[in-house]
Structure 1
């Protein structure tokens, strides 16, 4: 599979006639209706029917934290919060309530973000409801200039924002406060992190935030983007009517453009923290970001993408050495900040091997700088890029609305042009043949320079005294520059993928399911294949295969080898190709195939295109019949894994997650966290034999293919590659290992970390009466509780940022459930918030949920399922889940009716039955200081 991710090119996609290119300037997509009102307010409106009956609305403001005065630090982000806490037409929390009743989920659908330079609000809503469409525009109008900024609501929201800030605390945040001002050259970006300062957030008064709102939330800095299944003319008239009366300030401030200066100087900064788990070193070479306005700029952008693809492939090869010199390492060109991009070379070093790891990374940078790339590398990168844009071109009439919204957002914020999918494809296809190796290699001189170079080291406290200083790092760089290096040799295999060609089987039976429009084929070796052709995408085929068994078949002594088998064996390549050869072979192909071995099954998952379907099936055949084991790769993986474990116990999050896994599995060895002892149990030969065993009996496998399938084309391929798979007639079944959440009441507190932050997990569990109806009711219970916890813990008590509720239901090996509540908070508030949570659960048990909350859940469920029914991913997941659970495939046709049947009484019954508290686990993470003060 090609590595190219041409995001910059993709952001240019829209429909654009090629005739405009004679002017060399890339104009805006003509398929979007755009305009600017007399007050300066900009709008972009486009009709798009992916998904059907849906519309996306974004309000984009060229106002972020960079514009804050000193007494406003954090208030750009706080303003975003206040837009949800009371506007002219939706006072208090009525906005969220209104949207939830319409089936729009808070956080998942309706959302917003604040960065340095912009604040963006997003709202996806059904477009086939005129009243809701009108309401959506009203919300956008309120967000633009009608936030109430009620002092009472401000005081309530302080705690929520501070809890959001608390979630970001830790080693990374502490170290960033040290190095951020250095690498940002003490620019304004260094002192305007969007989350702000506690002193401001705790103490500001309404006039201070109102000043920010008045100065910067104004029509000449705003754009409304609307893309979806709408009537463009009608929406445009509504936009003009509602947004023309927005007012700019009488004494309007100029909107400054801030930058990070290039001084020509080099800098060095090393920071340590006791909770940092690895040593990381970066060389950041800053560069003025190139403009992207003309077709010549577009061509230069293509050259940069090719450069990054080839460089990335080289570092990937380096990571696959028998003794890789680092845990992770790489380099490339990326966006920076303040009008800059950069060449960034970084390494995550093995313990005690920073010099070795860094020199290995820098050596490859030096090799590229000295010798450039090869002709065969460029040829392969060109083929991969062309395949990527060609794939997008084939899907141009099935492009999701979000794609266009993001595109117009970038156009408004950064003047990034919106180029059409068809035109972009033609430009790439036209430019690629003429791009020379010399042009690509010239980028090394442009980006890999000796000036504006920052060296950053982040490391654990305990390694502080062994870290290099600036003089030593300079010596390392000089040492590599003086090494005698050999040019890169691009070794490409000319062998076929498969060592042995398959002997085709036959289709022995075909059964049609007219209700769900799929066909079940049985092959002569017993393999079952389900084919569901769809027209959701023009160029996408997704597939999955499974058979029962998995790691459950093996004893505990073999578990570590069984669990690691897929990662170890696939890392060695497949068929005639090792991992590097396979990567090169797949460079121009749109196919990805991945074997898996889970607890109770093994199988294959993949995605491809009609053109590359045979390649995907050949890979599938190869993983079944021609897996490889590579001792060198194995040693490298184990070495990197060992290094990753060295300081794991210093990270509070890892310690907490390992504790949760251990407690919830009753300390079963298969569920406790990773250790060196477990790593030592992994045996390559045993992993290889387990992998071969799991894929030795295809007769027990069921394959499902969904997407742009031509049944006449695929059938002979199925006979050749799947009908030829080995079949032994074993029909194994997974074992019940008896691993489940222990019964009774359990409390566990982990004391780890230096920040005043706590994490809480509450778990209800036990046996479960499995049925489609019960599953839907359990989902309603989850949502009803989450709505209440959001209201109480966040809005009423200002104690958390976002509480989450989840439920896990299993049918095999036993029908069981786990109902989980998670939130982060201040350590001193844990007991109070746990008590409030349990009180809300008790209310569900005694009073039941409010009817309106059940109605919200029902509306959200129906709103979310409708577009999912038009995706290949949904149908692949649904069919596989129903088959593995031995459930009725036709239940999807009754899903809406089941939703309609659920009422508050049903949810109350579920709460009484499953949230009794008889089996209740409370696990908390608190800072070490709390443990030191216990009992004092």
Structure 2
């Protein structure tokens, strides 16, 4: 009997985590969030249903299949992903492309809303729908059911889709990162099935697989017991349950015993080392990874461990950033964190370190620098002051989340349910999280963190990677040297010193202001205030979030007002000032002082305006306004920060010449902006002209006159509480009423018909940009007409270039409407393709543009555009950021403040005849640009 008691006592003792006199039960399962209904149909299909009010009248519908590329046979490589593509190319109830057409007419955007992805062991389909249309909502479950069991795999559609999948690989790959990955991934995943089952598959299989092989994969793995339906949104739960039973209960499994095999990535006792170079890579980047077994988050102990890891990540990242800001870092940049290994595969985590050397000859210094910081962390540990700041931040973050628990987006819950279905992770309610953090965070000591971090680094399960420039190949270290530098950087390790200023942020004595006028805007439910110093303030109180305030203050001017010789200094002024801190605080000291607060304040200087933008909650809005006051009256310039930023810019500029996209972008910028001092990007010559005195002077000039500024506040504030603070901190800003205005500095596209080929790069990959642009009379109606043309052209090009030509994965049409300094529009059509298809696809694109000019929109085109615009507008009206941007545009472009209330009316007034008439004008401009990026090997053939 005594032995039984002893065993019981031991089991009890080892099942708790002891902190002084308090304990946290380690083996206690995290309770399941009771607000979600989880059940399983008789056929094995699992479903999740949760009622959620944000966004209103919307639902997220997901179909999840526990099968991906790992389930492919040798002759099926890439077919899990191909199956996902075929889901949009015809199902039982929606043949061919009728599915996309049907949803677009209902206001759902292909790609932006309707989408899917394939991983190693999962395939996920997402379908967001409005819930104010019962027929449409029910159709969503019919669509998910079709994806689950009734994809048609039409022979013609399969043949057509081969080219699309090949082009997806070309668009996402065929670049330096892709070439590196092909050399590095075999090292990272060596000895595992993962290395042989990259989801995109093999090109030769995609081009030649037998159609029945594709169908065999679908029939084997798309079975109910491996599928989950996840539904979260603003609806009645019982109605959704009825739909799930109606459309999924009759699905049958071919074998309920079929389960995907679990695969792992083997350990490596000795370090793995790989050095790779490429002619298009300008830097030297070293990565060090230490693999660790991952643990599914299920118990309170798991949650404690997750909190500790997050805390260590935050504290160490802060140390690295502080080192860089002080100018003491022997590297250009660095980062380190404990997280999932390669996105969470193989049931592994990793402590990953990455460092960028200042140049190839200084790789050893960079490695020794970052490893010294790692070894210092392990040897000396963290300070109580560091942990206290992180605790404040964590408690502040969880408190903010708790206060917003009824405003959480449905997608947040979807992601939780995905992890529960796929990995068995707990679904943690916000109430539980808040209570757990509140009760247990103080029980974690800094010693607990210091013990944990000592387990993160060892030579077993270590992988060391070096990515470098081909031109530096001769001076790069050997694998043995690399290993020695990483694992023997134990010299000159010093303890961290926490630099803190314990002083008030701002002397708030003698800060006074007054209101001269108040005007209520009834239609927009906003208030406009004028302060005695000329500052204009627009306030809109909302209930979209429980404790969120967004703000923006701005005035006309910007870099356009700089003297020609000072343009380079003007362009970098905001970045240098913002990185230097403010008032008496350096950037690092400021960050430490603000720990545990919810706020962000960022000054900026654009080409035609300058301003300050940010966010806060109600508790911290006074501190936020103090920072605004400081940035406008006491900017700080730090010579060390200035030197560091200049060096970073120099490295980036020098590296551009080896990057094909950067070279091509320079050409695009020249054609679309011109090449004056204000239009062109900074080069090395410009960089050398910048001096700190000019930077500070230009910044001060731009913010010296508050009378030119308008401030906008949107969010969950009480006007009676906010207005006195605005009066105090904004009303006391200096002003001289100079009434400055931006200048036209000649930034505009080159006129006429321009065609230019750029030759840069190694792969069979071309990038095409076609631009149609011209000046026009700006009006809200003309802007809508152009938007309708853009949306229709994008749909037409998707159908033509992707579905019919099978030559492009995702053609893009971008519409730019510029009002300052003069109104002009630009349609930019861009896509990637094979080099031998460029001429055919450009010709096809121009044919579609000509067809749109000749035939115009039809009723279906207008229906799709109108419904998508209305659906998006409904969502936007519940966002503080949307209202903030709206009021800013009202002020900058002198619009009617009530324009937003007439949105539906403007949509209803759009007439096909008027759109089609203007299509002939807008799609037949005087200025047309055709730019193509080819690989350099083709230049010799020209």
Q: CA deviation at 1:722?
A: 0.3
Any idea what SS the aligned residue of 1:480 has? Answer: coil
Q: Which moved more, 1:694-703 or 1:163-172?
A: 163-172
Q: Deviations over 1:625-649 (max 9, x none)?
A: 1111111111111112212223321
Give the SS at the match of 1:43: strand
Out of 360, 384, 390, which is 2:393 matched to?
Answer: 384
How far did 1:407 drift?
A: 0.9
Once the 2 structures are TM-superposed, how far is the Cα of residue 498 of structure 1 from its aligned partner?
2.1
User: Could you tell me which of 310, 317, 325 is aligned with 1:320?
Assistant: 325
2:53 alignment partner, one of 49, 54, 62: 49
The equivalent position to 2:798 in structure 1, one of 790, 794, 816, is 790
Distance across 2 between alignment mates of 1:220 and 1:27: 24
Structure 1 CA distance, aligned partners of 2:894 and 2:931?
A: 34
Change (3 A) 1:373 1:245: same
Partner of 1:519: 527
Deviation at 1:26, TM superposition (A): 1.4
Deviation at 1:185, TM superposition (A): 2.3
Question: Is the 2:317–2:336 Cα contact (8 Å) retained in structure 1?
Answer: yes
**Deviation by residue 1:433-456 (Cα, 9 ceiling, x = unmatched):** 110111101122211122111100
| Matched position secondary structure for 1:571 | helix
* Equivalence map 1:172-191=2 (5 Å): 172-191=177-196
Q: Aligned to 1:111, which of 87, 108, 115? A: 115
What per-residue deviation string (whole Å, max 9, x for no partner) do you get for residues 664-703 of structure 1? 1222333333421121122211011101110000011000
Equivalent of 2:425, from 416, 420, 433? 416
Do the aligned residues in 2 keep the contact of 1:327 with 1:644 (CA within 8 Å)? Answer: no
Aligned to 1:877: 885
What is the CA–CA distance in structure 2 between the aligned matches of 1:921 and 1:473, rounded to whole Å? 48
Normalising by structure 1, what TM-score? 0.96
Q: How does 1:602-641 map to 2 (within 5 A)?
A: 602-641=610-649
In the alignment, structure 1 residue 149 sits paired with structure 2 residue 153: yes
Normalised by the length of structure 2, the TM-score is 0.96
SS in 2 for 1:646: helix
Q: Using the TM superposition, name which of 466-475 and 81-90 deviates more.
A: 466-475
The question of whether the paired residues in 2 share the 8 Å contact of 1:262 and 1:287 is answered with no
Q: How far did 1:479 drift?
A: 4.1
Distance 2:913 2:149 in 1: 42
1:296 alignment counterpart = 301
**Greater displacement, 242-251 / 289-298:** 242-251
Q: 1:818 to 1:877 in 2, by over 3 A?
A: same
Offset of 1:342 from its aligned partner? 0.6
Give me the whole-angstrom Cα distance separating, in 1, the residues matched to 2:853 and 2:405. 51
* Match of residue 704 from structure 1: 712
Shift of 1:556: 2.4
**Greater mean alpha carbon deviation, residues 390-399 or residues 445-454:** 445-454
Secondary structure of 1:255's counterpart equals coil
* Bigger Cα displacement from structure 2, 120-129 vs 887-896: 887-896
How much has 1:743 moved relative to structure 2? 1.4
Cα separation, 2, equivalents of 1:819 and 1:206: 39
**Conserved 8 A contact 1:698-1:725:** yes
Output one character per residue of 1:545-593: Cα deviation in whole Å (capped at 9) or x when no partner: 1100101111221111001001011111001210110110111110000
SS in 1 for 2:866: helix
* Partners of 2:676 and 2:746 within 8 A in 1: no
Task: Map 1:414-453; keep pairs closer than 5 Å.
Answer: 414-453=423-462
Q: Give 3-state SS (helix, strand or coil) of 1:60's partner.
A: strand
Deviations 1:474-498 (A, max 9, x none): 33235422x1322111111111112
3-state SS of 1:719 partner: helix
Separation in 1 of the partners of 2:227 and 2:512?
Answer: 62
SS across alignment from 1:650: coil
The residue that corresponds to 1:272 in the other structure is 277
2:329/2:369 contact within 8 Å kept: no
Deviation at 1:291, TM superposition (A): 3.0
Please give the residue correspondences for 1:116-265 in structure 2 after superposition, counting only pairs within 5 Å. 116-167=120-171, 168-250=173-255, 253-265=258-270
Partner residue, 1:552: 560
Deviation at 1:608, TM superposition (A): 0.5
**Which stretch of structure 1 is more off in the superposition, 223-232 or 249-258?**
249-258
Separation in structure 2 between the aligned mates of residue 915 and residue 501 of structure 1, nearest angstrom? 60
Matches within 5 A, 1:763-782: 763-782=771-790
| Structure 2 residues without counterparts, runs of 5 or longer | 1-23
* 2:676 match: 668
Distance, in Å, in 2 between the alignment partners of 1:512 and 1:755 is: 60
1:323 offset after TM fit, Å?
A: 5.2
Q: Is the 8 A contact 1:528 1:703 kept in 2?
A: yes
Instruction: State the alpha-carbon separation in 2 of the partners of residues 424 and 742 from structure 1.
Output: 57
Residues 878-887 or 185-194, more deviating: 185-194
Deviates more, 1:69-78 or 1:911-920: 911-920
User: Could you give the per-residue CA deviations for residues 386-418 of structure 1, whole angstroms, max 9, x where no partner exists?
Assistant: 101110000001111111111111110111111
What's the counterpart of residue 94 of structure 1? 98
Paired residues in the alignment total: 914
Contact 1:323 1:636 in 2 (8 A): no
Distance 2:521 2:724 in 1: 21
CA-based RMSD of the aligned residues comes to 1.4
The residue number in structure 2 matching 1:14 is none
Pick aligned residue for 2:862 from 850, 854, 858: 854
- Deviation per CA, 1:229-280: give whole Å up to 9, x if none: 1111121022112111112124854310111122322111101111112111
CA contact (8 A) 1:662 1:673 kept: no
1:466 matched to 2:475? The reply is yes
CA apart distance, 1:290: 2.6
Name the SS of the counterpart of 2:47 in structure 1: strand
Does the Cα contact within 8 Å between 2:268 and 2:462 map onto a contact in 1?
A: no
- 1:27 maps to what in 2? 31
Indicate if the aligned counterparts of 1:317 and 1:580 stay in contact, CA closer than 8 A: yes
**1:323/1:635 contact within 8 Å kept:** no
**Structure 1 Cα separation of the partners of residues 644 and 101 of structure 2:** 53
